Structure formats: C-alpha cells, structure tokens
Amino acid sequence: MTTNNFSTFVQAIQENISKVIIGKHDVVELLLVSLLADGHVLLEDVPGVGKTTLAKALARSLDCSYSRIQFTPDLLPSDVMGINYFNQKIQEFEFRSGPVTNQILLADEINRATPRTQSSLLEAMQERQVTIDGERHVLPHPFLVMATQNPIELEGTFPLPEAQVDRFLMQLQIGYPTREEEEEILITYQKEDPLINLKTVVSVDAVLDLQENVKEVHINNDVRGYLVDLVRQTREHPAVKLGISPRGTLALFKASQALAAIRGRNYIIPSDIQMLSVSVLAHRLNISQQSRLRGQTAVNVIREITKSVPVPVME
C-alpha cells in the first residue's frame, strides 16, 4: 500500500466535490472512508443543506455507473431490483435489471417508501446480490448505496427498520454552512449549477485497488482490544435498550482501516476509532424509552463511552 495513492485519490475527490459543495471537508472525508471500506452511507439532515447534491457530486467524480431512485409510497420492490418479463419476440423470460444493479445508487428520501420496498435493498446492501424469482444476480463492484432522509418531516414517511439501519456503515449529517461558506455558495451558483459540468477524476480500477489496499491496514492487539471494549460498553450502558451488535464492531474496524489509510498510515491508532465512533455506532444504538424522555441521545451515549473506556498507550 502506498500513501501517495491514497493522498492523490482523496485530494482529487475533495477538490472535485469542493466545486459543488462548499466546505464540509470532514463530511467528504467520511464519505470516502465509507467508499473505501466498501460500506453504505445514510445522509440524514434537514432539507436544503446539500444531501442529494453531495451524493451526486461523489457519483460524478467516480467513473462508475450511477442511478438515482426517488423513493415514494407507491414505489415497488420491482422498481428497485428489476423484473423477469416475457419477451414475446423470443418466447422466453428475460431479466430487466433495476437501478440497484448500478455501482452507485442514490436512494433519495428512502423513508418515504413502504417497508416492503425499503427491505428490498437489504440483500443488495449486505450480500451484493439480488434474488428475483429464485435467480441470483450478482451486483457490480464497487457497490455503494447513498440514502438520504429528512428527520424533521415525519408525515407520510416510514421509519427505517433497525435491520436496515444497521446495514449502513455510517450515518452522516452535513449541517448548515458558515456565513463565509454561504456567501461563497451564492457566488459559485450565481450563473449556473457547477454540478452540470463536474468531471470524472477517479477510475473504477483505482477505487477497487484502494479498497483492497485498505484491508492491509494493521491493528495491534491493544488497539483491537480498545475497539472491542468500546463497543461492548454500549451493551452495558444503563440508557441503552439494545447495544451494538458484532456487525457494528466489524463496521468500526473497517472504517478505522480506511481512515488510517486516508491519513497516510498503514496502522490504526485510537484517535481513528474515537473520530469514527459517533458516525459508525450512534445510528445502531437503541436507547430505552425512559432515557429518551429524559433527553438522552445515542450520540451522547457514544461520547460518554468513548471518554470512559481507557485508551491504550501507543509506542
């Protein structure tokens, strides 16, 4: 693994996305962490802060096939996965692929679709395949689902089930821009939408190579134990109804590998784990109803645990 390859990749993507998304370099970095860790991202924030634009900007920066689905209550699973239809010309059934067979899938306002349609993505996100009428269709690599949802407007929405939320490597919030960034947005978008002319800067092969290289990032025994202890504490916290599963432990490990590689290291340090803990773990945590009524949140619980677990000393 060469540090230069990762730094070139990150710089190219960040510079390209910065033509469309002003600021938010930390969010872009976490998005790249998820891509290199072969995970999926849930972008949850108020309307108008750039969730869909960010997803489109990343898709256009990569030389990958891309599709966008606008999730609505009348959307059917077949609209996502595809169907087998009878071709009268050849008198046989043929598979017509759906948007999910693209390498990058933007599931816009995913919580507006019915649970049946939402769950149609489960197999694709976890196993990188879809099964239709008993026939298995393998999805291309890389495969990244970027889903957006609005946490404020709840009327006409269907909350994502715990099983599906757990399939997202990270949940990210973009947040409002600073005053200076908002002025720059006005200047950037004054004449035209820069997204229209955004170019591809990274090839598919480069992404696949970097994903393989991320797996070589080392974690020593002390740091591995620290990561495991941090996750296990979520199962013992008094405010938690259901703690993080082993899938969450593995997700934090893979994300830490990707972040270490992006930061120019071939080994994980505790600060990698600490930085990612909220983004990777908070959305998987199930807080008890009593704790919620007292104002406790998953983010606060993860931060409490991160502060309480002893950090190993690195040589």
For residue 241, give the CATH number of its domain: 1.10.8.80
- Angstrom distance (rounded) from CA 137 to CA 133: 11
Identify the residue whose tokens are 């919030």: 173
More confident of the two residues 150 and 69: 69
Q: Count structural domains, the chain.
A: 2
Which of 149-153, 203-207, 277-281 is predicted with the least confidence, judged by mean pLDDT? Answer: 149-153
The per-residue pLDDT for range 295-309, each reduced to its tens digit, is 899 999 999 999 999
Q: How confident is the model at residue 270 (pLDDT cuts 50, 70, 90)?
A: very high
Determine the distance from the C-alpha atom of residue 221 to the mean position of all C-alpha atoms in its chain, rounded to a whole number: 27
Same domain, 157 and 54: yes
Residue corresponding to tokens 């099983």: 163
Same domain, 154 and 235: no
Higher pLDDT, 92 or 174: 174
Residues 246, 171 share a domain: no
**Within this chain, do residues 43 and 161 fall inside the same structural domain, yes or no?**
yes
At 3 the pLDDT is 64
The token pair that represents 129 in the structure block: 């395949």
Q: How far apart are the first and last CA of the chain?
A: 22
Residues 44 and 171 in one domain: yes
Answer whether residue 253 is part of any domain: yes
Do 249 and 165 share a structural domain?
no
* Residue 203 lies inside a defined structural domain of this protein: no
User: Are 172 and 44 in the same domain?
Assistant: yes
- Any domain includes 5: no
pLDDT(155) > 80: no
Instruction: Supply the pTM of this predicted model.
Output: 0.90
Average pLDDT of the chain?
89
Helix, strand, or coil here: 72? coil
Mean pLDDT of 51-55: 87
Instruction: Looking at the structure, tell me whether residues 50 and 151 fall in a common domain.
Output: yes
Q: Is the pLDDT of residue 11 over 90?
A: no
Q: What is the mean pLDDT of residues 173-179?
A: 90
Arithmetic mean of pLDDT, 80-92: 82
pLDDT tens track for 235-265: 999 988 888 999 999 999 999 999 999 999 9
Q: Are residues 57 and 170 in the same domain?
A: yes
> Among 176, 199, 230, where does a domain finish?
176
pLDDT digits (tens, 9 = 90+) for 205-240: 999 999 999 999 999 999 999 999 999 999 999 988
The CATH number assigned to the domain holding 132 equals 3.40.50.300
Q: Is residue 136 part of a domain?
A: yes
Q: Within its chain, how far is the Cα of 95 from the centroid?
A: 28
- Does a structural domain hold residue 300? yes
Is there a single domain that holds both residue 118 and residue 240?
A: no
pLDDT at 277 over 90: yes
- Predicted confidence at residue 2, as pLDDT, reads 60
Range of the domain at 60: 39-176
Are both 47 and 165 inside the same structural domain?
yes
139: Cα within 13 Å, side-chain hemisphere: 31
Do 162 and 241 reside in the same domain of the chain? no
Quote the percentage of the chain above a pLDDT of 70: 97
Q: Is residue 204 part of a domain?
A: no
- Report if residue 240 sits inside a domain: yes
In a domain, 315, yes or no: no
Pairing of strands 41-44, 135-138: unpaired
